[in-house]
Structure 1
Amino acid sequence: MSTSPVIVALDFPNEKTALALVSQLEPSLCRLKVGKELFTRLGPAFVEKLVGKGFDVFLDLKFHDIPNTVAAACDAAADLGVWMMNLHASGGRKMMEAAVDRLSTKAHKPRLIAVTILTSLGEEDLHEIGFAGTPGQNVLRLASLAESSGLDGVVCSPLEAAAIREQAAEDFLLVTPGVRPVSASLDDQKRVMTPADAMAAGSSYLVIGRPVTAAPNPLEALKDIHASL
């Protein structure tokens, strides 16, 4: 298992370009994230292929359904050999506890983390769907619910990491997208931090996409990020 805090997001539309990037990386220097688009196009076999190449895989499918359905989906994901998977904390305690209970029976037990509030949702959006309070208040509330439900951690903005770290146990994982090296373009991210600043704020793992995947030399870009840490 890799000890790297860097998770490279494989946000590609097809297997050829994804594997071309993967062939330039090293399992000791990063883990890989497979999201909805790539999983929907290529299926479980692609995840197993990455695991077979020695990479820890974060399956980013954000499960959200009735408890038994989510538990069964987590069971299936564990059988693929993934290192980490996630679900929506807004699915509630019963859903999260069902997933935790199901994974506790597995010989291979992946890390299970929760998504709190999507970064695309502002305060008006939350009020429209019936959530009171600010996005930040909801993030803290749902992170606390996830922790008390037995989950290993949450996905959060690097700007929320310090506040969650103050209220959570030391071993509670904080997985943060929106991380950009100093030299990188912001692309479509507005709320960002450098890798070093995000780790200092309490992040456990950093999800990084284009600064690595679009770099002329992805492996060198990855090594530069490690050097900055």
Structure 2
Amino acid sequence: MNVFKRVRDITVATLNERLEQSQDPVRMIDQFLLETRRAITEAEQLQHHVTQHTRQLKQHVDQASAMRQKREEQAMLALQAEEEELARMALQEKVMYEEKENQYTELLDQNTEALREVQLQLNTLKSEYQAVYSKREYYYARMETLRLQQQMNRRFGNAVEGTPQAFGRLEDKISDWEIEAKALRDLRNGDSYSSSSHTTNGVSLDEELERLRRKLDPDRKEE
């Protein structure tokens, strides 16, 4: 059957070869599923036609069988009535229906085998479709994980790379603040120490103050 010959061209084995060469496995699988779905539809239609034809053949067989039996019974009745000519006519038709029954039985057997093959191939197609669909879900999950990882790298990559530099600049700035604060603290400590001390290097602060006053006022007399 041509439909199944064409279907075998898109089997899972062929799909695996195409996946190895594909940059987008999900898209390739979707294409395979689409083709398989079409093949399943065609196979279901074929199964329907073969089933209908099988029923018709069975009806022909049953009708021929019934007429064969009827003509044989009529021939027996004709012989019992000593109507030999009628018996011959009945037997002639009985032989004709018997031949017809045999012919249709042969066709029915062939068609029954064909229907069995269609059903087997259809079940195989459906099983392959389900198996590939499950694999498609797995590949889609992998591709989505990869896409999200790439998105995260684009979003946070630069920020992560620039973080050490940013902390380095902040460290320098804080160090400057600490140096400035220490200098002010040392200056305050020095003023406090000077104001509480009466001498510096052996010189009286009062003498130094008096010297500055005389410098400012030359007419000032020494006390």
TM-score normalised by length of structure 1 = 0.20
Higher helix share: 2
Larger Rg: 2
Greater relative CO, 1 or 2 (CA 8 Å, sep 6+): 2
TM-score (norm. length: structure 2): 0.20
More strand by share: 1
